[in-house]
Structure 1
């Protein structure tokens, strides 16, 4: 009945909300994790980042230089929290231990004893350590269970972008990715726009066959053409470099670009073009002054697709842009190297991953209003 929504419409709305949440939650989690420390990531999820968490932290007493000999017993006094190697005051201590196997062996204020050594830890972090033997220069380990308040840091971004330490440095990979992505997005758009106009509005023999060939090229797997294209590049002297990867992305993105733009241009009003020809305009003038301005939604929609594919590409960059010195390494490959060498340093990986997706997100939200208009244009007559 009029004014009533069917059950199918409600199902569509619920599905859309579910899909949006499915994409938002991991992105927000990645953003929050990129500002957290390694201990916080390993002990609690990102959703608990605004609440205090209980963690076991390893601290050390002062070394032999701080010991005093009293009645044949070495005594060291200090503060586990505020000493040079301490995390700082303000933590709520719950329990402590002298072994990693039992970090909660003693309550705060009790005295723990082990192999002639004793230690008493007070709520403020101060301690008294005694030993019948001379303490080591590095001090003794103490495991403390403490309530850690929420903490956020920009150190992860400093390490990734500005440390300059080998594989930790993502700034070079960031600019390398921009160097690959921007030309690999502009070149196919420019070439495809000319080709699409010719296939849409210029009469010449074999036009229908060329359109069918473009559609057929859409189903050619990228992996099928990698090795032949690489051999062609090596044969003509391009080798493995920026020019080779630009041309590779152009070749792989051209069929979709031509198909998308041609469908859009065919749907433009014929009267405008015919009137321009009557007024004496050339095909180039019609293309630059009429077709391109009217085709901006289609151009923007393809630019979004091409930018995202190129920015997130790993396969093509690995084949056509290999550099042992790391001078041309892109961000996707840099993150793979971090995964291979960093292991459990999730705060570094989370930061690197969010840096990698930040630019595509900005591009998508800036141009997404043209996306649907550009894709659907020409699909329905």
Structure 2
């Protein structure tokens, strides 16, 4: 029994190809734009709520501001920046996020270069261990690290929170950067060595410029993770060292009476990562172009 196969009609374009062609045009941009607008609506609502009085927030929705623009005021931001606890928490967030990001990027880049281009005994097995550490949940280490911090007398300090973020951020950083660094042509490294360059010179003048796209991406990820962290800070910080996320969570217990602090504080906590993201995005594009030219 013979099986009859469908014969393609000459000049007839398949339905899937027609749909893909239509979506690759202006339609896909309209869809992406619509999705982006929908995702931005909660952010817009939070921003407008931060500019309204607590009484207005309790009595009506944020969208009523379009018909009653007189509701807008900067009084809540004035109250926020006059709150010593919130300002201290904001400063604590900066003191935690910046060192945790810089240390992870710097140490991760050095380790990734070693795993990619320096031949030493046990390198592959050690890299397997580093990759395995990526699957270890943070929750597993909370109690052991807390006991260790008490013995070292750094529990409840900013240093303890930073070290925890660095320890759990390094495995992913090493894995991400090592794969990127390994793709750099060996000839560039050998040429630098022939000119008398040391390993540090190769890392600084070859690896970092060509690896800037991956380094910038890692910096963005690490900054966002640490800035928005609540669990680690909730466990290892105290009233004096708590970041902004913990301070806002504490005010959530009295939502009705603290809405004038929560709305502007939440938008402030949201806006800083956005500013950092767009600032690093510019360097990310520059690094990508520089890497393509040098490669």
Quote the Cα distance in structure 1 between the aligned partners of 2:86 and 2:40: 24
Report deviation, 1:151. 2.3
Answering whether residue 203 of structure 2 is matched by residue 272 of structure 1, we say no
Answering whether residue 278 of structure 2 is matched by residue 365 of structure 1, we say yes
Contact preservation (8 Å) 1:230, 1:320: yes
Q: Which residue of 2 aligns with 1:193?
A: 109
Higher strand share: 1
Q: Which residue of 1 aligns with 2:81?
A: 161
TM-score by length of 1: 0.66
Distance 1:163 1:238, change over 3 A: closer
Answering whether residue 227 of structure 2 is matched by residue 314 of structure 1, we say no
**3-state secondary structure, aligned to 1:333:** helix
Contact preservation (8 Å) 2:156, 2:241: no
Answering whether residue 29 of structure 2 is matched by residue 6 of structure 1, we say no
Highest Rg: 1 or 2?
1
Quote the Cα distance in structure 2 between the aligned partners of 1:260 and 1:24: 30
Answering whether residue 52 of structure 2 is matched by residue 36 of structure 1, we say yes
Contact preservation (8 Å) 2:89, 2:242: yes
Contact preservation (8 Å) 2:53, 2:71: yes
Quote the Cα distance in structure 2 between the aligned partners of 1:266 and 1:340: 50
Deviations 1:247-277 (A, max 9, x none): 1000010111101111111111211101111
Contact preservation (8 Å) 1:33, 1:347: no
Aligned residues: 271
RMSD over equivalenced CA pairs, Å: 2.5
Q: Which residue of 1 aligns with 2:256?
A: 343
Q: Which residue of 1 aligns with 2:4?
A: none
Report deviation, 1:13. 4.8
Quote the Cα distance in structure 1 between the aligned partners of 2:215 and 2:35: 27
Quote the Cα distance in structure 2 between the aligned partners of 1:43 and 1:365: 36
**3-state secondary structure, aligned to 1:329:** coil
Quote the Cα distance in structure 1 between the aligned partners of 2:32 and 2:118: 42
Quote the Cα distance in structure 1 between the aligned partners of 2:233 and 2:19: 52
Higher helix share: 2
Q: Which residue of 2 aligns with 1:118?
A: none
Higher relative contact order, chain-length normalized (CA < 8 Å, sep 6+) = 2
Deviations 1:173-206 (A, max 9, x none): 1111101111111111111111000000011122
| Unpaired stretches in structure 1, ≥5 consecutive residues | 53-148
Q: Which residue of 2 aligns with 1:232?
A: 148
Of 198, 212, 222, the match for 1:296? 212
Quote the Cα distance in structure 1 between the aligned partners of 2:29 and 2:144: 46
**3-state secondary structure, aligned to 1:203:** coil
Contact preservation (8 Å) 1:50, 1:150: no
| Structure 1 residue ranges, 4+ long, deviating more than 4 angstroms after superposition | 1-5, 7-15
